[in-house]
Structure 1
């Protein structure tokens, strides 16, 4: 049996930081204490003095592009990039080719991940204007939830029929995750921009086209509909300070029926960065103002926003290097998310305890994931060891994404992921990806 003893780590778990040891046997954490003795001669010992030990990040929103878009990414390549960045579990979105809008197509993705994934996995089932019957067949205990695009994005899965939308909210017992942008507002803004600039619209106009108004109109309608129907709603990638007021900070997460997520890029970049980053930071929803970024951080710390994710959505550089109307939205983030967030810990934006809550504990609570998201005896050993004082710079040479680029290129992070464990196995060791397919299909306590 694989046995690993992590010694003298700064363990971050359940609101506390304390020095101690963690013993892993097989897939599980079997002991946590101030000092644990070596039990067998073949135990691997990792000295972690001065290093953080955290539960692996559970990323509740990624696009790994398989099937059908594998020139951009694959489950294999992006899951390996994820474990290199301290993400041990991901939930992948349905807007692939074909779209995961039937049970059979969804299970095809599970089968592919079982063969290739370095990280643990689940998938969202995709809702459309005409697949309610199929939605109602989905077993809530076997999949992460239902994804609805209330604003068009990559994949053309817009759900824009209000009667169908209310019927879905009323009838499904799945957790409903939504992309919220008002389509009519975006169309109007885009038409005006094309009239002024033609196809080559300045990228700085992106947050004015996919505007605060577009986001708030859609998010507020989704929240209102969830309250009306009693649906369990999770609003993805908030990008404006105004939207955060729609969410409750008073209730414990386990008691909330309406929750929210923010992504790393909306916490890091602002509209001032378009001048240097261009279409590399073109996302839907758009990166907006510094005031919006500050509002998102405030809401995150207050508890209005429950989860931090990546919305990892790679495209090739050739695809991104186009005029505004042809450059796709999205970018790669899983390899650098945790280190970028630790940079925010260093800057005092968030405590390390609160960060672990938002990237590990809360996704586990929100999706009711079994035996993951914490450093607890009897839980799966999905763990990450981070050196908080090991500066390094993102370059093309150390990028693991299939697309070969990152919006963080040239950025120096003070912290570095040293080891990542998935189900007790070391899958990332000081710059080397060791095991290609140690991920498991996550299970739910629902």
Structure 2
């Protein structure tokens, strides 16, 4: 098997620069970056002329559904879709069955991934109203962080005891990631619409039920608590323009104690898409207005929002086809996230350098991921080649998710991912997968 690759003539994107050059991969690592590099004997040469070479995306929020919900997805199927989509590392959430709320159950997930994940992986430990003792045993070098649901979502791991929350925020030095939606507001709104429509509430009311107010109330409280306790807080999937003003852009990312993430679907869709897409774009928090989408883009570009992720959360078509109150929230995104961002590059909304900063560099910095997220000598060769001029249309027959559908079906993208390297191994090559090799457990510089 080839252990050396020479990628020639690529447009290398790294640390706010794009430059033409070559990258030599030896074993798991990037050995050399330069121009006119000479290939060692037995190295495979890839001419990347016209293509971008970027560090693989580090997706800080996915739901791969294993264990317990594997009729929808599993770590093998979704990590395979991820590498086809240019995501080389993922951090998976604890709301599986059973939930990852003890150290033993958390390690069980790592064990599954070590045997089946094509991408590099980590998992979050799930905080509840009554597992503080277990939570404090979490190994900061080998586990990505703590996840708290401050609004109930799939799996209902709601943490709503204020005293417990304060204890968690005060007691751990681990990064705490939060899903912020105010439960009381949502319950009241749901009851009101149920009274009028019964179970079959029109999907267009989803962002009215899971409203701006519900999001802002919860995220502002979490931020207040983080400031009070000194906790390291990361707010997942912002969905409103209003929330973006809670975050700072006047200090470097490394100095921020409170950071924010936005997801692909909130940057792509608006409430105008519910008519056509229906429950296929039902997410928690909800896709909201054009004003919210514009505000999220503005905050992303001016660095109040630090990271782009997917919140990949597949459900079967049968499940999604239920009436509003029974249709679960979430959709599959890892295969199309990077390409969707490249479409926004083509439209002039964002630069390619900024995309790489938000999806690769910043997650690596924010989670202190060891030796990944950059095109740098001595770093792991987690690399992706993107041809910016190879249009294709998303259709059922090219969707790789186990659930078999995508909210992007019918969308034509201008760019195509041609090659994905994970730890120096060419794992994806123009539609062909290397299924012999698995990814590695992420480690953290903490």
TM-score scaled by structure 1?
A: 0.99
SS in 2 for 1:90: strand
- Structure 2 unaligned segments of length 5 or more: list them: none
CA distance in 2, matches of 1:110, 1:43: 33
1:172 paired residue number: 172
2:292 paired residue number: 292
1:11 paired residue number: 12
CA contact (8 A) 2:115 2:438 kept: no
1:282 paired with 2:276, answer: no
1:430 paired residue number: 430
2:35 paired residue number: 34
CA distance in 2, matches of 1:213, 1:140: 34
1:242 paired with 2:232, answer: no
SS in 1 for 2:23: strand
Cα drift, residue 141 of structure 1: 1.2
1:77 paired with 2:77, answer: yes
Cα drift, residue 438 of structure 1: 2.2
1:420 paired residue number: 420
1:338 paired with 2:338, answer: yes
- The runs of 4+ residues in structure 1 deviating greater than 3 Å are none
CA contact (8 A) 1:119 1:437 kept: no
CA distance in 2, matches of 1:37, 1:438: 29
CA distance in 2, matches of 1:150, 1:331: 20
CA distance in 2, matches of 1:318, 1:94: 24
Q: How does 1:350-365 map to 2 (within 5 A)?
A: 350-365=350-365
Aligned residues: 445
Cα deviation code 1:165-207 (max 9, x no counterpart) = 0010000111000000000000000000001111100000000
Cα drift, residue 234 of structure 1: 0.1
CA contact (8 A) 1:116 1:436 kept: no
Cα drift, residue 436 of structure 1: 5.2
CA contact (8 A) 2:3 2:26 kept: yes
CA distance in 2, matches of 1:197, 1:417: 44
CA distance in 2, matches of 1:379, 1:362: 15
SS in 2 for 1:400: coil
CA distance in 1, matches of 2:440, 2:39: 28
CA contact (8 A) 1:117 1:436 kept: no
CA distance in 2, matches of 1:240, 1:173: 28
CA distance in 1, matches of 2:379, 2:136: 31
1:366 paired with 2:366, answer: yes
CA distance in 2, matches of 1:73, 1:139: 27
2:113 paired residue number: 113
Q: How does 1:1-400 map to 2 (within 5 A)?
A: 2-40=3-41, 42-400=42-400
CA contact (8 A) 1:426 1:435 kept: no
Cα drift, residue 156 of structure 1: 1.1
SS in 2 for 1:300: helix
CA distance in 2, matches of 1:395, 1:437: 28
Cα drift, residue 302 of structure 1: 0.4
CA distance in 2, matches of 1:408, 1:63: 18
CA distance in 1, matches of 2:36, 2:296: 40
CA distance in 2, matches of 1:106, 1:438: 19
CA distance in 2, matches of 1:72, 1:438: 21
SS in 2 for 1:148: strand
CA distance in 1, matches of 2:84, 2:126: 28
CA distance in 1, matches of 2:438, 2:386: 20
Cα drift, residue 51 of structure 1: 0.3
Cα drift, residue 434 of structure 1: 1.9
1:441 paired residue number: 441
Cα drift, residue 326 of structure 1: 0.1
Cα drift, residue 435 of structure 1: 2.6
Distance 1:143 1:135, change over 3 A: same
SS in 1 for 2:239: coil
CA distance in 2, matches of 1:345, 1:277: 24
Cα deviation code 1:16-55 (max 9, x no counterpart) = 0000000000100000002201221x11000000000000
SS in 1 for 2:283: coil
Cα deviation code 1:321-361 (max 9, x no counterpart) = 01000000000000000000100111111100011000000
SS in 1 for 2:293: helix
CA distance in 2, matches of 1:329, 1:436: 34
